[in-house]
Amino acid sequence: MSQLDSRELGQATSGVGRTFLGHPVGLFLLFLVEMWERFSYYGMRAILMLYMISVLAVHQLTPGVYTNTLELQQMVTVDDGNGKTHDEVGPVQRIPLYALVGAGTTLPADAPAATTSGELDITAQRLVAKPDPANADKTVWTLPGDGTPTDLRVIVTGEPGTKFNNTESRFALRNTTDKTIKVRVGIPRQDSNQRTYFTVNRNPSQFVAEIKPESQRGPDEPPYYEITVDTNNHDSGRNWLQSDASVLYGWYTGLAYLFPIFGGMIADKLIGTRRSMLIGGLLISLGHIVLGVSGFGEMAQSRTGMSAFILGLALIVLGTGHFKPTVSVMVGQLYEQGDPRRDGAFTIFYMGINLGAFLCAFVVGTLGEKVGWHWGFGAAAVGMLAGLLLYMVGQPIFLKGVGDAPRDRATPQSLMIMLAAIALSAAFAAIYHFGGIAQLGAAMEYIQARPMLSLGLIVGLSVAILAWVVWFVASNEPQDRGPVITIFVFLLFNAFFWIAFEQAGSSINVFTEQKTDRMIGSFEVPATWFQSVNAGLIFILAPLFSILWTVLTRKKRNPSQPAKIALGLIFLGLGYLFMVWAGKVSADGVAKASMLLIFMTYFWHTVGELCLSPTGLSYVTKAAPVKFVSLLMGFWFVSNFIANLGGGLVAAQVEAIEQGRIKLPWSFGGQADFFFLFVVTSIGAGLIILVMTPMLKKLMRNPND
């Protein structure tokens, strides 16, 4: 990054003027700007997955008849002849679901009724809503009193632009055999092009339920297994499959870590941090505005609107690439080298990051979940614009001379760079609109469907990377080779940590929304509020950890860097034990997990983060050879890119694991199997690096780091 020499820095700081709490006022300006940028980034990220998978809202449809099918697929255990068994789909019952939109819209006379293929051991019965005798304001669902069969079809009606009434239907699934039966319940979809308008138990996809025999139910248990079918009366999402949405989430969050490498180079060589930060803020603001606009009117459900949404994401990614590295560098540019206030300044600045991340869900998340998705995205835009306005007003007063360009003609170059970023984002959106990204996805599916080809590519790429690492290590001076090896080892385990940690915004976020009891009395806590737990806990725990490390250092018992990484991974895995518990509780598709389990997950994840995250970049700066510091810092960001992308690709498998299409060595039921994967990998990786600690300490430049 660009640096000021001592003479220039003296001029800059003399222009800055007043101090506050012993620091330049410019530090607190950057604190507020970064707070608002993180408010917009984390706020949008909190609602991204929920928006992408939400079904279409019936009241936003044009007049007509819209159909889905509720399928009850009985699973049959099959012996594969090798001493193992697997589940296959057996008899199926199909129940049509109809949404009649618009006055005068009627169901065609030949509209099919419920059908069954094969002999089901499960009986589906339509329940009837009646006033609760104990409370007239409540409704109870019961079997028809006379026992006569009712039409199983679900038919909801309403006018475009108005909320539909009485859209909820319930069914009882009864098992009259003497054994527990697995049933895959939900609305099947082949791909995201198949539109859906109904949810089953608030789930837009299928899930596997275990129906116990009636004879085995306890006296306090309900006499039947209920499923609830309902429409979306809130706001249309993009109706993507969760697997596709997870991949998009992974690419988005991953690229937000990759592009700062290039943004830092541009600031360093051409336009300086001051202009680069301004470009980043403008692009991010524009991107969030585009996201908000893409959800209005017909664009909320059209391909053009989705392409506009992709344009907005691309603008945010490129804007983050300019903003993220430069704002941190500007904090450092406020102080001379060796200034003892520098570490305290970054601590204050770090609190700004977490304050924005803490506040965002209560505004962006609440608006997105309760009012309309585009209002949430619009609120994120307001946040970034607020930060940008603060910067533009305060920069000439409190940051004058800080982050100036290293060469002339920076202003026209800045304009060209910003226009190029807009053009690049538009080109990417156009490629998506005309199917280019879909072709890339098809190519990836082709590779994934061929295990030998996939394995060959993975092995080949791994060998190439390993060969380069060996060459790079050998090219260093003998005294630098050991520390460089430790950096690459830590990079690997850093990626392991963040692959699991970043499930927070994808698989855990969706689980919280669909499978968690979030009721406090009559108030339902928005799922996005849980995205603020991590940042809130950092506010509370970070000072305590700072004191802890100081006390341990004074007693010469402060854990080494590899030991802290091991602790971070082990605490992360411990947190996932609570998600396994939550997944097991909700495995039947009806019961909901406690909010406390989600909170405890985030608590231990935060403890793990505070062990591992704050020390990583610091270690690279201390251990790397001087001539390769920037390169190895870049690799640290690349590892975060790989981790976020990998986290999205792993999250894409959650439904396949839950439904049994992907088998794991353990079987707890529901999504517990998926989350136990992170217990095994995180704690396993932590134990491995713990065993390696004595060897790594011998390779480190300073074993006490």
pLDDT at 83: 64
pTM: 0.90
- CA atoms of 164 and 132, how far apart (whole Å): 23
Mean pLDDT check: name the lowest of 20-24, 290-294, 336-340, 455-459. 336-340
The answer to whether 585 and 698 are in contact (CB under 8 A) is no
The pLDDT of residue 11 = 37
620 or 533, greater pLDDT: 533
Query: What CATH architecture is 479-705?
Result: Up-down Bundle (1.20)
Q: Which tens digit of pLDDT belongs to each residue from 51-69?
A: 999 999 999 999 999 999 9
Measured CA to CA, the distance from residue 211 to residue 183 in angstroms comes to: 7
What pLDDT shows up at residue 661? Answer: 83
The residue with tokens 């060459």 is 471
How many CB atoms lie under 10 A from the CB of residue 491?
20
According to DSSP, residue 643 is labeled H
Residue 181: in which H helix or E strand, if any?
strand 181-186
> Mean pLDDT, to the nearest integer, of 104-119?
89
Percent of the chain with pLDDT over 90: 48
**Residue 329: both structure tokens together:** 């560098």
Tally the C-alpha atoms within 13 A of residue 493's C-alpha that lie toward its C-beta.
Answer: 32
Summarised one tens digit per residue, pLDDT across range 339-366 is: 778 767 777 888 888 899 999 999 999 9
Q: Write out pLDDT tens, residues 531-585.
A: 999 999 998 998 888 888 888 888 888 888 889 899 999 999 999 999 999 999 9
Query: Residue 522 pLDDT > 90, yes or no?
Result: no
Report pLDDT digits (tens) over 265-299.
888 888 888 888 999 999 999 999 999 999 888 88
**1-54+239-407 against 479-705: fold identical:** yes
Rounded alpha-carbon distances, angstroms, from residue 318 to 253, 277, 286, 325: 12, 12, 11, 12
Chain-centre distance for alpha carbon 467: 33
Q: Which amino acid is at 379?
A: A
How confident is the model at residue 704, as a pLDDT?
Answer: 64
Judged against a pLDDT cut of 90, whether residue 593 lies above it is answered with yes
Q: pLDDT class for 3, splitting at 50, 70, 90?
A: very low
Q: Which of 200, 699, 244 is nearest to 483 (CA)?
A: 699
HEC readout, 530-566: HHHHHHHHHHHHHHHHHHHHHHHHHCCCCCCHHHHHH
> Are 360 and 42 spatial neighbours (Cβ–Cβ below 8 Å)?
yes
Range from 36-45, 396-405, 596-605, 655-664 carrying the lowest mean pLDDT = 396-405
Structure tokens at 668: 């707890």
pLDDT in the model for residue 703? 64
Query: Is the pLDDT reported for residue 451 higher than 90?
Result: no
Mean pLDDT within 307-314: 96
Q: What is residue 64's three-state secondary structure?
A: strand
Q: How far is CA 489 from CA 633, 641, 686, 700, in A?
A: 14, 17, 12, 11
Task: Determine the pLDDT at residue 245.
Answer: 94
Contact at 8 Å (CB) between 290 and 27? no
Q: For the chain, which residues make up each domain, given as ranges?
A: 1-54+239-407, 58-231, 479-705
The distance in angstroms from the start CA to the end CA of the chain is: 25
C-alpha–C-alpha distance, residues 426 and 318, integer Å: 12
pLDDT, tens digit, 9 for 90 and up, residues 393-436? 998 888 888 877 777 778 899 999 999 999 999 999 999 999 88
Cα separation, 654 vs 672, in Å, equals: 10
Least confident piece of the model among 72-81, 569-578, 676-685 = 72-81
Q: Between residues 260 and 590, which one has the greater pLDDT?
A: 260
Give the number of other Cβ atoms within 10 Å of residue 471's Cβ. Answer: 9
Q: Give the least confident one: 137-146, 231-240, 646-655.
A: 137-146
> Which CATH superfamily, name and number, covers 1-54+239-407?
MFS general substrate transporter like domains (1.20.1250.20)
94 alpha carbon, distance to own chain's centre = 33
List, in sequence order, the alpha helices (H) in 241-302.
242-266, 272-293
CA distance 324 to 293: 25
Cα 274 off chain centre by? 30
Q: Give residue 219's pLDDT band: very low, low, confident or very high (50, 70, 90).
A: low
Given this model, what pLDDT does residue 689 score? 93
Rounded Cα–Cα distance for residues 500 and 336 (Å): 38
* pLDDT value at 614 more than 70: no
